[in-house]
């Protein structure tokens, strides 16, 4: 089963939107996040974050720095708020 939705989040005083796809099947769980604003792609390569329950966070291939973690945290918080509704 899957869900596709958008979330709005703030980062460094600006508002952004992310596209989210959550897929679940049996014991597998995955989240695909696409951030279309190219001004954030230096923190998230290609604007893509991918999490799979079998592999963990696999989209960030290089060492993630503080601002990248902060950005990911803001997006995850927005997703959590959306899912709580």
Tens-of-pLDDT digits for all 85 residues of the chain?
789 999 999 999 999 999 999 999 888 889 999 999 999 999 988 899 998 888 877 656 555 668 888 999 999 999 999 999 8
pLDDT at residue 54, as a whole number: 81
Phi-psi region of 42 (alpha: psi -120 to 50; beta: other; left: phi over 0): alpha
Neighbours of 16 (CB within 10 A): 19
pTM for the whole structure: 0.85
């Amino acid at each position: 089963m899957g869900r596709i939705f958008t979330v709005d989040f703030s980062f460094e005083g600006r508002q952004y939107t992310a596209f989210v796809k959550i897929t679940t099947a049996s014991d597998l769980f995955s989240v695909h996040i696409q951030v279309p604003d190219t001004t954030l792609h230096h923190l998230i390569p290609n604007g893509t974050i991918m999490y799979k329950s079998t592999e963990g966070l696999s989209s960030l291939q290089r060492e993630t720095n503080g601002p990248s973690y902060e950005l990911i945290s803001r997006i995850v918080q927005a997703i959590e708020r959306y899912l709580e509704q």
